[in-house]
Amino acid sequence: MAESAESALSVIYPENANENKENEKCSFEPEKKRQKTEAHSSAIDFKLEERLSGILCCAVCLDLPQTCYQCCNGHLMCCGCFNHLLADARLKDETATCPNCRCEISKNSCTRNLAVEKAVSELPSQCEFCALQLPRNSIEHHERELCSERPSKCKFSRIGCPWHGPYHELSRHEGSCVHPQKSGLEIMESLNKIDDIQEAEHRLYKDIFNLLSFEKVTFNDLQLKPYRTDDFITKLFYETSRFSAFNHQWVIRAKVIHDQKDPAHSSERSLSYQLVLKSKINQPITLHYMVLKGPYGEMKVKPAIYKHEFSSDSVEATHQDLPVIDAIECNKLLAAKTINMRLLMFQLPS
């Protein structure tokens, strides 16, 4: 076993050696790399899996990539880190580079590495609940449906039972759970909470249906493109080209909001956008508007309706959240060249 493991590795290591020989530009840290290689080959007692993990891991976060990209010199990056590097470069107005060899990286110059993805899916991974070792490609199913330690909730949680615990204790708890015996009066509070959440959702959809019944409704499929401000320290912003709706000209502007001074140092990013009127108007118009993914977009948004009364004194709506579901989605948008979306506008009858 140890011998076959060793021969498997000798197939992998020469690639590292070639890389240094063939590509002189790539030898930024040859000393380190050689040391690492030697350290690996001397530690024969390490399991093959562990050694492969060290080779197949993402160069940035060292995790094993489920979706794997590689630079033109073959350095590996997981999908999340790849998008993060591209998004960082966009924010700093720099060219994104591979953290290993500094070659340019972009959606066009980098390719997926399917062999790495498949190899990674065969490597063992530990169930986060019971510590069982399973191939990566079956761990999700195990953790969701099979693991006896997976966290579970009592089936009476809807009527207020707070119990949660490992799955193997669930049936014993449910057998003795006191909540089914509670009176209607006692379970009202937790039912009200569920109602509140559902009502808020209901209200949103009712509002959308109401807006869709307005006399004047329009939509535009727009593309936000990145620009830099002329300031000494330039800032990234996005703008669409002009589009017309309700006989006026409009644009959408968007910017990155973040909790720190330098957005490149923050991972908790989000985007805000504003609707700007570009034509002169004599009479104020009140608009409701909202953004959806649209046919060409990729962003995952929750619908959110905003409203603004446009007049000759107020041609810019206040900046509102672009309701992308999370910071990872936000990085994906920043990593892309442009942001595609559909803007729906509803004019309030005057």
**Given 69, 156, 306, 346, the residue binding Zn ion (CB under 5 A):** 156
Tokens at residue 288, please? Answer: 């409701």
| Dist. CA 136–CA 337, nearest whole Å | 32
Residues 6+ apart with CB under 8 A from 298: 332, 333, 336, 340
Query: From residue 23 to residue 62, what is the string marking binding to Zn ion with x (rule CB under 5 A)?
Result: -----------------------------------x-xx-
Q: Helices 327-335 and 79-92 sit at what angle, rounded to 10 degrees?
A: 60
Q: Does 84 bind Zn ion (CB under 5 A)?
A: no
Tokens 């509002």 correspond to: 207
Residue 85 binds Zn ion (CB under 5 A): no
Residue 75 touching Zn ion (CB under 5 A): yes
Q: Does 73 bind Zn ion (CB under 5 A)?
A: yes
Contact between residue 311 and residue 263 where contact means Cβ atoms under 8 Å apart:
no
Q: Return d(Cα 86, Cα 65) in angstroms, integer.
A: 17
Q: Does 292 bind Zn ion (CB under 5 A)?
A: no
| Contact status: 335 vs Zn ion (CB under 5 A) | no
- 301: alpha, beta or left, given left = phi > 0 and alpha = psi -120 to 50? beta
In this complex, which beta carbon is closest to Zn ion, that of residue 45 or of residue 145?
145
Q: Which is nearer to Zn ion, 152 or 320 (CB)?
A: 152
Check binding of 100 to Zn ion (CB under 5 A). yes
Compute the least distance from the CB of residue 274 to Zn ion, in Å: 34
Q: Are 60 and 78 in contact (CB under 8 A)?
A: yes
Out of 68, 71, 170, 211, the only residue in the binding site for Zn ion (CB under 5 A) is: 71
81 binds Zn ion (CB under 5 A): yes
**Residue partners of 300: CB distance under 8 A and separation at least 6:** 293, 324, 325, 329
Q: Are 254 and 339 in contact (CB under 8 A)?
A: yes
By CB under 5 A, tell whether 130 contacts Zn ion: yes
Residue number with CB closer to Zn ion (78 or 345): 78
**Per-position x/- string for 163-192, each x denoting binding to Zn ion as judged by CB under 5 A, each - no binding:** x-------------x---------------
Q: Could you please report the per-residue DSSP string of 186-251? A: HHHHHHHHHHHHHHHHHHHHHHHHHHHTSSEEEEEEEEEEEEE-SSSS--EEEEPPPEEETTEEEE
CB 70, min distance to Zn ion, A: 8
Written as one letter, the residue type at 331 is N
- Nearer to Zn ion by Cβ, of 60 and 324: the residue is 60
Nearer to Zn ion, 60 or 343 (CB): 60
Q: Which residues in the 109-128 window bind Zn ion by CB under 5 A?
A: 127
Using the rule CB under 5 A, which residue among 89, 154, 224, 335 binds Zn ion? 154
Number of residues counted as binding Zn ion (CB under 5 A): 21
How far apart are the C-alpha atoms of 19 and 11, rounded to whole Å?
14
DSSP H or E segment with residue 272: strand 270-277
The minimum distance between CB 46 and Zn ion, in angstroms, equals: 22
CA–CA separation, 208 and 66 (whole Å)? 38
- Which residues of the chain form contacts with Zn ion (CB under 5 A)? 58, 60-61, 71, 73, 75, 78, 81, 98, 100-101, 127, 129-130, 132, 147, 154, 156, 161, 163, 177
